[in-house]
Amino acid sequence: MKGVLLAGGTGSRLHPLTRITNKHLLPIFDRPMISYGVEAMVKAGISEIMVVTGGTHAGEFLRLLSNGDEYGVDRLSYAYQERPGGIAEALGLTERFVGDDRVLVMLADNIFGRTIRPTIEAFATQQAGARIVLSEVTEPSHLRHLGVPELIDGRVVKIIEKPTEPPSNYCVTGVYCYDPTVFSVISTLVPSGRGELEITDVNNHYVSAGLMRYDILEGFWGDAGESIDAYYEVNDFVRRHGANLG
């Protein structure tokens, strides 16, 4: 299985911090944010990784990560997204890298308290399709800003982006597993109202085909790019408890 770590975007929700750097290079406790994503993949058993980034600070990722040896990566590649075109568009840039393999896609601003290895191992036994990780969110006001699955009899029947009335108490985190058909799915997408190719549309394709599975996360999950408050909440958690444990 290959790994794709998405580290693009403008980081506007973390202004003014991101006026001088890419948000994924900001510190979480004692090291740059993106290093936690690399660590999560390596601990999950993935040693071939592509980082997708963009903007004026893209070269800093090469300066930081180099060829990946220091992080336990056997093969580290890079792709450049010329403009913010959505998560699905960024994933589409990795098609030649992934080839006929399965792929773990991770948003580099998502931080997990525990290892994601159980999800990778479960996906390895899954015949085809996709797999996502859900996290419980108790505040309805927070769910209204996230992708929320509707669950019936243990199945995902739809994922709704930023729902006015959340259909469950779970959100879709920034970890997605796909078989190689994902690139054919991406090629059929049309831009959303904000002009981007949406990963929720990719996921709903697999939901409609009956090929979506999920795991419910145990432990901490935080999106450090969601807001300044969320960024410092993630910092505080990692400083006290660590990340990617187990």
pLDDT tens-digit series, residues 173-197: 999 999 999 999 999 999 999 899 9
106 lies in a domain?
yes
CA distance 101 to 97: 9
CA distance 19 to 90: 22
CA angle 146, 150, 156 (to 5 degrees): 110
246 lies in a domain?
no
Residue 34, pLDDT score: 98
Helix H or strand E encompassing 199: helix 199-208
CA distance 205 to 124: 20
pTM assigned to the model: 0.96
Mean local confidence (pLDDT), 37-46 = 98
Q: What is the mean pLDDT of the chain?
A: 96
SS3 content of the chain, % helix, strand, coil (to 5): 35, 30, 40
CA dihedral 12, 133, 34, 105 (to 10 degrees): -90
36 lies in a domain?
yes
Mind listing the pLDDT tens digit for each residue in 129-175?
Answer: 999 999 999 999 999 999 999 999 999 999 999 999 999 999 999 99
178 forms beta bridges with: 103, 130
> 138: domain range?
2-241
Q: How many domains, the chain? A: 1
206 lies in a domain?
yes
Residue 132, pLDDT score: 98
**Looking at this protein, which amino acid is placed at residue 217?**
L
Mind listing the pLDDT tens digit for each residue in 95-122?
Answer: 999 999 999 999 999 999 999 999 999 9
30 lies in a domain?
yes
Mind listing the pLDDT tens digit for each residue in 191-230?
Answer: 999 899 999 999 999 999 999 999 999 999 999 999 999 9
105 lies in a domain?
yes
What's 96's domain CATH number? 3.90.550.10
